[in-house]
Every structure is written in C-alpha cells, then in structure tokens.
Amino acid sequence: MAVTVLDAAPKLGVLYAKAAATAWGRGGDLPAEHLARHGVTVDPAHLAAYTRVCRLPLGDVLPATYPHMLTFPVQMALMSDRSFPLALPGLVHVRNRIQVVRAIRSGEPLDMEVWAENYATHRSGAAVDLCATVTAGGEEVWRSTSTYLARGAKAPSGAPEADIEVPVGDLERVAATWRIPDDAGRRYAKVSGDVNPIHLSGLTAKVFGFKRAIAHGMWVKARVLGALSGRLPDALSLDVGFRKPLFLPSTVTVSTAQADGGWDVAVRNAKTGTEHVVGTLRPL
C-alpha cells in the first residue's frame, strides 16, 4: 500500500472540473493508494467562519465535524483521479460516521490520511466508503467514513451489500424548527470549498436532476451537533444517514430523544414529514 503525501490542500474547484472532464470510461477496482497531509494547522479565521455558518460554539476545541473540512479536499483528490472507478459527478453522500477519540485543540498540528474501501452493491447502483484518520502527536484522535452512492453504477462481481441504514428510535418529539434560506448552500460552500453545483443554485442543480438546490449533508450534520452542544462528551461517535434531499429554501423540524447515554436525532420537512437526516450521537 503506497502513501502519497500532498504538500498543500487540493483546490476543490479545480478537482470538480477535473472530475467532470474525466467522468466517462471509468471502471475497475478501487485504488490501493492512500493520500496524506502532514503538519496541518487550523486557520483561526476559517474555524470562526465555519462555526458561524454551522451555528456551532467557538472555542479552543475543534467541533467534531470540523476535521472533515481538512480531510475532504484530500478525499476529493483521490475520487477525482482517473484511477477511481466511479465518476465523481452524480455521486451522492448517503452516510457519514465520525468518531472523536479525544478532544482536539485548535492549535495542534495534525496529520491525516485518506483512502477508499468497501466497494459494494446497492439496489440503486454501487457504493464506496471514503475513509479518513487524523492523528496528533502520533496518536489517532479522529476518524471518519463517508459512504457515497453512484446511481446506476455496477459494483464488482461478488461485492457485498452496502450498509447505509442508520437505526434510530422513536422520534416524535419536536425540539426545534429551522427555517433554512435559499443561500445556505452557497454560504457553506464558501467556507467548506465544496462547490458541487447541486448546492449552489436552482439552475445548476437542475442540470443534475434536482428541482432546486439542496443543502450540504455535512452542514445539516454540523447544525445538529450545534443544537446539542453542551450535552455531549468530548469522545463521541456521530453516525448519520442522508435520506432525502433537503431542498432550499425549506422549513424543517428537529426531533430528538435520549438513548444509550446519547441522542437519536431526525431532521424532517415541516410540512410533509419527509426525513432528510437521521442520526445517532453516542459516547465513544
């Protein structure tokens, strides 16, 4: 297994363009290569902007979802490369699991490594896991698995069934109502660099088959984390499933229930009850 160390964070806009230009004719197995970055430090101004957009508290401990900001561009570099078998345009983020092993201080230099695994079959196509790990001072402090679905794609013969379901308990009690504006995707894209056209405007979203722009799943996950701030331990696991697109603008309800020392959560459309995001937050 080869590890390629990148000198700087890849530019997401460039990677999206590269992925679009090389979308056709992909196939084969997942690349064995791992990509890494070493000695990454957090920009305080960027952290502050991220917490504002996601309505998270700002302090000297990184929010559980923030390391995704650092690892996602590296994952994108892996997925946009011609060796990756699935075309990046059209990939749908359907599940994200994060484990925070311990609190991460915002001033700690971080090393990170990403790779792809678990090429799996799904009733709608093929799925793959993009994994990431973050270490500080030689110890692992954070890890994540993002599952992506390629509709209409075909996994290799004998591939296992994709595991994308997140089981949650009874969630009837509405704890909050959020009114999400039509520029939520653009505001998060400005901070995250995730300029996927499906999030930016109704016009660009329609090119990819969506009736309106849709919210970033990881922004919704961070908003849920912010809603429960002060009630979660430093070491925790956050597992969410992205079920149906959250169109912009929208009004959604947030339902919560305590379970197993943590919380079950569901974000639903306020009018139709459609589930957009369901998840569990548990002590690690």
pTM for this model (two decimals): 0.93
Query: Residue 207's pLDDT is what?
Result: 85
Q: Is the pLDDT of residue 1 over 80?
A: no
> Where in the chain does DSSP place strands (E)?
3-5, 34-40, 92-100, 110-122, 125-136, 139-151, 174-180, 236-242, 250-259, 262-269, 275-283
Say what the pLDDT of residue 112 is: 98
Per DSSP bridges, beta strands 139-151 and 250-259 are unpaired
Per-residue pLDDT for 45 more than 90? Answer: yes
- The residue that leads in pLDDT, 222 or 29, is 222
Both structure tokens of 176: 């909050």
Residue 76 predicted with pLDDT over 80: yes
Give the architecture (CATH level 2) of 1-164: Roll (3.10)
Give me the pLDDT at residue 11, please: 86
Amino acid letter, residue 147: T
Residues 154, 172: Cα–Cα separation, whole Å: 37
More confident residue, 7 or 15: 7
Q: Is the pLDDT of residue 229 over 80?
A: yes
Is a pLDDT exceeding 80 seen at residue 25?
no
Contact 103, 59 (CB under 8 A): no
Query: What's the pLDDT at 36?
Result: 98
What does DSSP say about strands 236-242 and 275-283: parallel, antiparallel, or unpaired?
antiparallel
Task: Fill in the amino acid letter for 134.
Answer: V
CATH of domain 165-284: 3.10.129.10
Pairing type for strands 250-259 and 174-180 reads: antiparallel
Q: What is the pLDDT of residue 24?
A: 81
Q: How far apart are the first and last CA of the chain?
A: 29
- Is the pLDDT score of 39 beyond 90? yes
Look at residue 33 in the predicted model and tell me its pLDDT.
94
Q: Is the dihedral of CA 261, 132, 112, 185 positive or negative?
A: negative
DSSP one-letter string for 115-148: EEEEEEEETTEEEEEEEEEEEETTEEEEEEEEEE
Indicate the pLDDT class of residue 119, thresholds 50, 70 and 90: very high
Place 125 in a pLDDT band, splitting at 50, 70 and 90. Answer: confident
Q: Is the pLDDT of residue 69 over 80?
A: yes
Q: By three-state DSSP, how is residue 224 classified?
A: helix
Beta bridge partners of 255: 174, 266
User: Can you say how many angstroms the Cα of residue 149 is from the centroid of all Cα atoms in its chain?
Assistant: 13
pLDDT in tens, 153-179: 888 888 888 888 898 888 988 999 999
Domain with CATH 3.10.129.10 in the chain: 1-164, 165-284
Q: What angle do CA 146, 151, 156 make, to 5 degrees?
A: 80
CB within 8 Å of 255: residues ≥ 6 apart? 171, 172, 173, 174, 175, 265, 266, 268
Tell me what pLDDT residue 208 has: 80
Query: How many CB atoms are located within 10 Å of the residue 207 CB?
Result: 10
What does the buried/exposed string (b/e) look like for 259-284 if buried means 16 or more CB atoms within 10 Å of the residue's CB? beebbbbbbbbeeeebbbbbbbbbee
pLDDT at 19 over 80: no
Quick one: the chain helix, strand, coil %, rounded to 5? 25, 35, 40
State the pLDDT at residue 276.
96
Rounded mean pLDDT of 242-265?
95
Give me the pLDDT at residue 196, please.
84
Q: Which residues contact 45 (CB under 8 A, 6 or more apart)?
A: none
pLDDT at residue 89, rounded to an integer: 79
The average pLDDT across 220-231 equals 95
